[in-house]
Amino acid sequence: MELIQKIAEQATGIMLMWAIMIGVVIIDFWTGIDKAKSRHEPIHSKGLRKTITKVGEYWRVLVMFLFIDIIGTMLPWYSLPYASMLCTLSIILIEIRSVIENLKAKKSSASEITEMVKEIISIDNPEKAVSFLKNLNK
Protein backbone atom coordinates (compact mmCIF):
# COMPACT_ATOMS: atom_id res chain seq x y z
CA MET A 1 0.00 0.00 0.00
CA GLU A 2 2.84 2.37 0.84
CA LEU A 3 4.40 1.75 -2.59
CA ILE A 4 1.14 2.65 -4.36
CA GLN A 5 0.85 5.85 -2.31
CA LYS A 6 4.43 6.78 -3.17
CA ILE A 7 3.73 6.27 -6.88
CA ALA A 8 0.53 8.33 -6.64
CA GLU A 9 2.42 11.19 -4.97
CA GLN A 10 4.94 11.29 -7.81
CA ALA A 11 2.25 11.18 -10.51
CA THR A 12 1.44 14.88 -10.08
CA GLY A 13 5.07 15.87 -10.52
CA ILE A 14 5.42 13.67 -13.57
CA MET A 15 2.27 15.11 -15.15
CA LEU A 16 3.67 18.59 -14.50
CA MET A 17 6.88 17.62 -16.30
CA TRP A 18 4.86 16.35 -19.26
CA ALA A 19 2.98 19.66 -19.34
CA ILE A 20 6.29 21.54 -19.22
CA MET A 21 7.53 19.46 -22.17
CA ILE A 22 4.44 20.39 -24.19
CA GLY A 23 4.84 24.03 -23.13
CA VAL A 24 8.44 24.34 -24.29
CA VAL A 25 7.62 22.66 -27.62
CA ILE A 26 4.76 25.15 -28.13
CA ILE A 27 7.14 28.04 -27.38
CA ASP A 28 9.56 26.68 -29.99
CA PHE A 29 6.70 26.37 -32.50
CA TRP A 30 5.67 29.96 -31.76
CA THR A 31 9.18 31.33 -32.30
CA GLY A 32 9.43 29.30 -35.50
CA ILE A 33 6.26 30.96 -36.80
CA ASP A 34 7.59 34.39 -35.78
CA LYS A 35 10.85 33.65 -37.61
CA ALA A 36 8.99 32.62 -40.76
CA LYS A 37 6.81 35.74 -40.63
CA SER A 38 9.82 38.03 -40.21
CA ARG A 39 11.47 36.40 -43.23
CA HIS A 40 8.24 36.61 -45.23
CA GLU A 41 8.28 32.84 -45.65
CA PRO A 42 5.03 30.97 -46.18
CA ILE A 43 3.67 29.22 -43.11
CA HIS A 44 2.54 25.68 -43.85
CA SER A 45 0.95 22.93 -41.80
CA LYS A 46 4.27 21.09 -42.11
CA GLY A 47 5.57 22.97 -39.06
CA LEU A 48 2.56 21.92 -37.01
CA ARG A 49 3.00 18.30 -38.12
CA LYS A 50 6.67 18.44 -37.10
CA THR A 51 5.69 19.88 -33.72
CA ILE A 52 3.09 17.17 -33.10
CA THR A 53 5.62 14.51 -34.14
CA LYS A 54 8.19 16.05 -31.78
CA VAL A 55 5.71 15.99 -28.87
CA GLY A 56 5.00 12.32 -29.60
CA GLU A 57 8.69 11.45 -29.70
CA TYR A 58 9.43 13.34 -26.49
CA TRP A 59 6.42 11.75 -24.82
CA ARG A 60 7.65 8.24 -25.69
CA VAL A 61 11.05 9.02 -24.17
CA LEU A 62 9.41 10.49 -21.05
CA VAL A 63 7.31 7.34 -20.64
CA MET A 64 10.49 5.23 -20.74
CA PHE A 65 11.98 7.42 -18.00
CA LEU A 66 8.71 7.09 -16.09
CA PHE A 67 9.29 3.33 -15.99
CA ILE A 68 12.70 3.99 -14.44
CA ASP A 69 10.99 6.18 -11.83
CA ILE A 70 8.43 3.47 -11.08
CA ILE A 71 11.23 0.98 -10.47
CA GLY A 72 13.04 3.63 -8.43
CA THR A 73 10.11 4.01 -6.05
CA MET A 74 11.00 0.57 -4.71
CA LEU A 75 14.24 2.02 -3.36
CA PRO A 76 14.05 3.81 -0.01
CA TRP A 77 16.21 6.77 -1.11
CA TYR A 78 14.36 7.37 -4.41
CA SER A 79 11.98 10.06 -3.17
CA LEU A 80 11.48 12.10 -6.37
CA PRO A 81 11.02 11.17 -10.04
CA TYR A 82 14.69 11.81 -10.78
CA ALA A 83 14.73 10.13 -14.20
CA SER A 84 11.71 12.10 -15.43
CA MET A 85 13.23 15.30 -14.08
CA LEU A 86 16.49 14.63 -15.92
CA CYS A 87 14.67 13.81 -19.16
CA THR A 88 12.47 16.92 -18.91
CA LEU A 89 15.51 19.10 -18.24
CA SER A 90 17.19 17.65 -21.34
CA ILE A 91 14.11 18.42 -23.45
CA ILE A 92 14.00 21.97 -22.08
CA LEU A 93 17.66 22.50 -23.00
CA ILE A 94 17.08 21.17 -26.53
CA GLU A 95 14.10 23.46 -27.01
CA ILE A 96 15.93 26.48 -25.54
CA ARG A 97 18.64 25.98 -28.16
CA SER A 98 16.02 25.82 -30.90
CA VAL A 99 14.26 28.96 -29.64
CA ILE A 100 17.57 30.85 -29.53
CA GLU A 101 18.36 29.75 -33.09
CA ASN A 102 14.92 30.97 -34.23
CA LEU A 103 15.39 34.31 -32.49
CA LYS A 104 18.86 34.80 -33.98
CA ALA A 105 17.51 34.03 -37.44
CA LYS A 106 14.60 36.40 -36.91
CA LYS A 107 16.80 39.32 -35.84
CA SER A 108 19.53 38.73 -38.40
CA SER A 109 19.84 40.50 -41.70
CA ALA A 110 19.07 37.17 -43.33
CA SER A 111 15.40 37.95 -42.76
CA GLU A 112 15.71 40.62 -45.47
CA ILE A 113 17.04 38.25 -48.13
CA THR A 114 13.62 37.41 -49.59
CA GLU A 115 12.85 41.10 -50.09
CA MET A 116 16.23 41.66 -51.78
CA VAL A 117 15.66 38.72 -54.11
CA LYS A 118 12.27 40.15 -55.08
CA GLU A 119 13.90 43.50 -55.84
CA ILE A 120 16.70 41.90 -57.86
CA ILE A 121 14.18 39.94 -59.92
CA SER A 122 12.21 43.11 -60.65
CA ILE A 123 15.29 44.97 -62.04
CA ASP A 124 14.88 45.32 -65.78
CA ASN A 125 17.77 47.62 -66.78
CA PRO A 126 21.44 48.21 -65.87
CA GLU A 127 20.86 51.66 -64.32
CA LYS A 128 18.42 50.21 -61.78
CA ALA A 129 20.88 47.42 -61.01
CA VAL A 130 23.66 49.94 -60.28
CA SER A 131 21.32 52.00 -58.12
CA PHE A 132 20.23 48.91 -56.20
CA LEU A 133 23.82 47.85 -55.54
CA LYS A 134 24.76 51.34 -54.31
CA ASN A 135 21.80 51.29 -51.89
CA LEU A 136 22.94 47.95 -50.45
CA ASN A 137 26.09 49.53 -49.08
CA LYS A 138 24.20 52.24 -47.20
What is the C-alpha separation between 138 and 134, in angstroms, rounded?
7
60 alpha carbon, distance to own chain's centre? 17
pLDDT, position 110? 54
Among residues 132, 99, 127, which one has the least CA distance to residue 115? 132
Q: Which helix (H) or strand (E) holds 47?
A: helix 45-72
Q: How far apart are the first and last CA of the chain?
A: 74
Is 21:91 a contact under the CB 8 Å cutoff? yes
pLDDT, position 114? 65
pLDDT, position 109? 58
Is 49:117 a contact under the CB 8 Å cutoff? no
pLDDT, position 78? 84
> Under DSSP, is residue 1 helix (H, G, I), strand (E, B) or coil?
coil
Angle value at C-alpha 118, between 117 and 124, nearest 5 degrees: 100
Domain ranges of the chain: 2-107, 109-138
Which residue positions in the chain have pLDDT lower than 50? 111
